[in-house]
Amino acid sequence: MKFLIFVLFFLCLVISSCRDVACNVSTAQQHINIPAPPKTETINNIDYKQVQTPVGKFGGVLNLSIYGSGPKTFNLWASSDNTSSTLGGLLFDSLFETDPDTGEVIPHLAKSYEVKDGGKTIIVKLRKGIKWSDGIPITSDDVVFTWNNIVFTGIEGGGFQSLCLIDGKYPTVKKIDDTTIEFMTHIVFAPFLRQIGYQPAPKHIFEPLLKNTGSLENTKKTFLGFWSTDTKPERFVTSGPFKLARYIQGERIEFVKNKNYYVINTENKKLPYFEKVIYTLVQDSTLELFKFLAGEIDVVSVRGEDVALVKNLEKKKKNFQVINLGPSSGTEFLIFNLHKEDRKGVSQYTPTEWFNNDYFRQAVSHAIDRLGIVDNVLGGVGKPLFTSESLPSIFLNKKIAGGYPQDLKLSKELLKKGGFVWNDSEELLDSKGQKVEFTILTNAENITRQAIAVIIQDDLKKLGIKVNIRPIDFNTLIGRSDSGDWEAIIIGFTGGFFEPNEGANVWKLDGRLHMFDQKPHTPRNWEIEIDKIFNEATKVIDFTYRKKLYDKFQEVVYDKLPFIYLTSPLRIFAVQNNLGNIRPTIYGGVIYNMESIYKKSK
């Protein structure tokens, strides 16, 4: 109780705007020393990856938090949600990773790679002697099996298969020897090097599972149901720094270190330093912040509206630091369901006709007060977003990134062009005389998105549009979006900095996450244009040429608005000062080097 009074007291003292405070938050990479790159150290015929960060202290627990009701699966290759994918990253390593300072592709499970044939052939060498957590060697058989039996067959659940179809053909993945794999495409495919970093699955576990399952449909069902959240932890086999120890649904997920992990420090001792990592499931960001301030959580993402408070407490408590990583690589957006199939029982009206009206979507976009969202929801710690590429992306179209201010007058003119009128009560009617009303879904765990929905609700009320808001559980929301049982959603994608094609499963016609109309339909002209751009942009290596293509893609999205982009928050984190080897970077984040982080002695 004393702690709660303490926090509330400081809340009352916060009188400076978060926007001013954010300017005083140190940005990542301004105050850090970049260590030497990792080396390969061969010991007892094992090619260890030796990181060059300062030697830390072994033992202890890293306490983290994650939003939502929990993962949908622990099968990384079946994952279609961010929570499952995030936790899967602790369990399974990729062949390559992104250099946190330069953004370049660097070996991880792989020892090295060689690009041949102008980019059409990539030879990957695995580290010798590395093992799965059960002691079985990790070999090229695992990599080849993952691609040929999981990815190319389409049984994986994240939509990665659609990213691998290159001009109508899949690449070939072939074993050369136990530690050598040949990846080959029939044409140059620019994003391929990043793609082949895809995490290998343990063949000795999955191959017996997938035998004699009958049809492809049954095989996929069996695969997607494997390693569910009900699976006993001892049945998991991992390649990452940690293993699953316990999952208490609705409360927390506990991981313990993988004693077979192949990363070592400069004293040739096996990492990670932590014996345990515990993720607490949180449903409320305010409670999450209180837990951090009480020392129960070691790292926390700070909402814009909380930055001023946290900065004041940083000065007074002096036991944590606040870090600004710059604009988010993700995108937040409002999306309308454009699929024209009747959804009987969902509503008494037919909003699909409105949503497919270009003028209607444009009117909605111009009516949204994005600056108001930044100021009132993000506490000034963010920027309006208008593009499909995030603000830090190297492919951002800067000509349109600035967007436009709220303009209700223009919105009304656009609605008139779209055939809409107003009745005597200033309610918006369509050409059939129906009142325009729809429901926005968003995830109940994210109060920021709920607050954004309230502002949009108020903005559109000024146009005579009635908007209902319905927060629901995140997993339920994903299920509704997959089924098509929705009208509008506020949600986000994690995004990236370096490769727009990572979003191809959203934009291509056969993409699994083609959310605005993901059921079979007659493609719109602008959908076909986007599809062509994505196909062409992967066939050349030259950055300037690719940039022009992706600039055009952003312009089409900016005009047609299948997604109405909203804001880009700054990524502000608070980190306890008792964590060692915290080295935040713009590209890596705060705890990308989890195997090297440790807790200092008190």
DSSP 155-176: --SSSHHHHT-BTTBPPEEEEE
* Residue 53, C-beta contacts closer than 8 angstroms, at least 6 positions apart: 35, 265, 581, 583, 593, 596
Lowest mean pLDDT of 390-399, 406-415, 509-518, name the range. 509-518
pTM of the model: 0.75
- 168: phi > 0 → left, psi -120 to 50 → alpha, else beta; which? left
Instruction: Supply 264's token pair.
Output: 């070592």
pLDDT, residue 342, reads: 55
Separation in Å, CA 247 to CA 71, 73, 181, 281, 525: 10, 11, 36, 11, 47
**383: pLDDT confidence band, cut at 50, 70 and 90?**
very high
The three-point CA angle 541-35-126 to 5° equals: 55
End-to-end CA distance of the chain: 26
pLDDT, residue 80, reads: 84
Tokens 């990856």 belong to which residue?
A: 49
**23: pLDDT confidence band, cut at 50, 70 and 90?**
very low
Q: To 10 degrees, the CA torsion angle through 7, 8, 13, 14?
A: 80
Q: What is the mean pLDDT of residues 205-227?
A: 93
pLDDT, residue 154, reads: 93
Q: What is the mean pLDDT of residues 369-379?
A: 93
With a cut of 50, say whether residue 11 has pLDDT above it: no
Q: What is the pLDDT of residues 104-135, one digit of tens each?
A: 899 999 999 999 998 899 999 999 999 999 99
Top-confidence residue, 144 or 167: 144
**527: pLDDT confidence band, cut at 50, 70 and 90?**
very high
Tokens 């090295």 belong to which residue?
A: 112
Separation in Å, CA 414 to CA 150, 310, 357, 426, 554: 47, 43, 10, 16, 21
Instruction: Supply 558's token pair.
Output: 């900016």
Tokens 């959580």 belong to which residue?
A: 297
With a cut of 60, say whether residue 27 has pLDDT above it: no
With a cut of 90, say whether residue 28 has pLDDT above it: no
pLDDT, residue 348, reads: 47
Q: What is the pLDDT of residues 503-515, one digit of tens each?
A: 888 999 888 789 9
Q: What is the pLDDT of residues 330-373, one digit of tens each?
A: 889 999 999 987 545 544 456 889 999 999 999 999 999 999 99
The three-point CA angle 426-432-434 to 5° equals: 45
Residues 581/56, Cβ–Cβ less than 8 Å:
yes
The structural domains of the chain, ordered by start, are 2-70+229-326+571-599 (3.40.190.10), 76-224 (3.90.76.10), 331-569 (3.10.105.10)
With a cut of 90, say whether residue 426 has pLDDT above it: yes
pLDDT, residue 56, reads: 97
Q: What is the mean pLDDT of residues 442-464?
A: 95
Instruction: Supply 41's token pair.
Output: 């150290």
Q: Helix axis angle, 285-293 relative to 307-317, nearest 10°?
A: 10
With a cut of 80, say whether residue 6 has pLDDT above it: no
Position 575: which residue type? V
pLDDT, residue 5, reads: 35
pLDDT, residue 277, reads: 98
Bridge partners of residue 471, in order along the sequence: 442
Cβ count near 389 (within 10 Å):
25
pLDDT, residue 68, reads: 83
User: Phi/psi at 155 (nearest 5 deg)?
Assistant: -85, -15
Residues 297/280, Cβ–Cβ less than 8 Å:
yes
Residues 586/392, Cβ–Cβ less than 8 Å:
yes
pLDDT, residue 32, reads: 54
pLDDT, residue 431, reads: 92
Type and span of the H or E element at 195 = helix 192-195
Burial 27-56 (b: 16+ CB within 10 A, else e): ebbeeeeebeebeeeeeeeebbbbbebeeb
Candidates 245, 302, 304, 238; CA nearest to 279 is 245
With a cut of 90, say whether residue 47 has pLDDT above it: yes
User: Phi/psi at 18 (nearest 5 deg)?
Assistant: -65, -30
What value does the mean pLDDT of the chain take?
90
Instruction: Supply 30's token pair.
Output: 């301004």
Question: What is the C-alpha separation between 96 and 110, in angstroms, rounded?
Answer: 6
Q: What is the mean pLDDT of residues 241-260?
A: 96
What is the maximum span of the chain, computed from C-alpha positions, in angstroms? 84
Question: What is the C-alpha separation between 381 and 385, in angstroms, rounded?
Answer: 13
With a cut of 60, say whether residue 536 has pLDDT above it: yes
Residues 49/108, Cβ–Cβ less than 8 Å:
yes
With a cut of 50, say whether residue 31 has pLDDT above it: no
Residues 419/431, Cβ–Cβ less than 8 Å:
yes
Per this entry, what is the length of the chain?
Answer: 602
pLDDT, residue 474, reads: 87
Top-confidence residue, 171 or 32: 171
Q: What is the pLDDT of residues 312-323, one digit of tens each?
A: 999 998 999 999
With a cut of 90, say whether residue 233 has pLDDT above it: yes
pLDDT, residue 344, reads: 53
Instruction: Supply 27's token pair.
Output: 């940005």
- Taking each continuous run of H as one helix and of E as one strand, the counts in the chain are 20, 26
